[in-house]
């Protein structure tokens, strides 16, 4: 795979990585395009196929795994698969753009391991686990049981933070946005040969 750079933002749910990624996508100087992940889960709220995710049946997702169609994939929760399709990355590179990912920590680290020179891996850390729980509850998109599952998973994910290139503590959104932008500008400017 030849092409532009890969910018990975990973974090526990509720840390603010999606807000950071959406901000960075609006910055024309970065020449970014969003890698839409595939998932076997059903759409939530007003999520749209091809925009938020590629919603694929569990059977078809497993077929894509078998065919080697993913750059990375993970069974995040039982029968809830997420992954980055190679075709999606190639589509973005053909446009002459750099790819930005909003993915779980395992997927982010897999991309970094496969393409260490081409990848900037950023971990977005919440100020605390308590704050994370507050943010997840404010979303009002999931049950208490699902929120508790995410909090339990967050403890494991937080332990992976040192494996990333950079950690942004999202305590103040304005500061986190500036830090994320500066990191991406610097990385894009670097020669990866």
Sequence-ordered list of residues with C-beta below 8 angstroms from that of 69, at least 6 positions apart, any chain: 85, 86, 87
**Burial letters 89-104, b for 16+ CB under 10 A, else e:** beebbeeebbbbbbbb
pTM: 0.86
CB count within 10 Å of CB 26 equals 8
Q: In DSSP terms, which residues pair with 120 in a beta bridge?
A: 7
Task: Say what the pLDDT of residue 110 is.
Answer: 94
CA torsion sign, 27 to 29 to 30 to 32? Answer: positive
Is residue 8's pLDDT more than 80? yes
pLDDT tens figures, 15-49: 889 999 999 999 999 999 999 999 999 998 899 99
What is the pLDDT of the chain when averaged over all its residues? 90
Kindly state the average pLDDT of the residues 116-122.
Answer: 95
Would you list the domain boundaries of the chain?
6-188
Rounded Cα distance, 141 and 96, in Å: 36
**Residue 2's pLDDT band (cuts 50, 70, 90):** low
* Residue 57: pLDDT over 80: yes
6-188: CATH, from 3.30.465.10, 3.40.50.300, 3.10.28.10, 1.20.1250.20: 3.40.50.300
Q: What is the pLDDT of residues 133-169, one digit of tens each?
A: 777 777 777 778 877 777 878 888 989 999 999 999 9
Question: For residues 71 and 63, what is the distance between their CA atoms, to the nearest angstrom?
Answer: 14
């Amino acid at each position: 795979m030849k092409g532009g750079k890969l910018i990975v933002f990973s974090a526990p749910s509720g840390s603010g990585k999606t807000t950071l990624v959406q901000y960075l996508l609006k910055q024309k100087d970065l020449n970014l395009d969003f890698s839409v992940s595939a998932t076997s889960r059903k759409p939530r709220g007003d999520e749209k196929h091809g925009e938020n995710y590629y919603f694929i049946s569990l059977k078809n997702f497993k077929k894509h795994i078998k065919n080697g169609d993913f750059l990375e994939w993970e069974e995040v929760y039982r029968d809830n698969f997420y992954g980055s399709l190679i075709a999606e990355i190639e589509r973005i590179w053909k446009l002459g753009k750099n790819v930005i990912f909003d993915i779980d920590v395992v997927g982010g680290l897999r991309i970094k391991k496969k393409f260490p020179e081409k990848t900037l891996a950023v971990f977005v850390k919440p100020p605390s686990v308590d704050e994370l729980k507050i943010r997840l509850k404010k979303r009002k998109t999931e049950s208490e049981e699902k929120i508790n599952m995410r909090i339990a998973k967050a403890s494991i994910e937080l332990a992976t933070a040192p494996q990333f290139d950079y950690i942004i503590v999202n305590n103040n959104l304005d500061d986190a946005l500036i830090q994320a932008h500066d990191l991406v500008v610097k990385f894009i400017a670097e020669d990866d040969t």
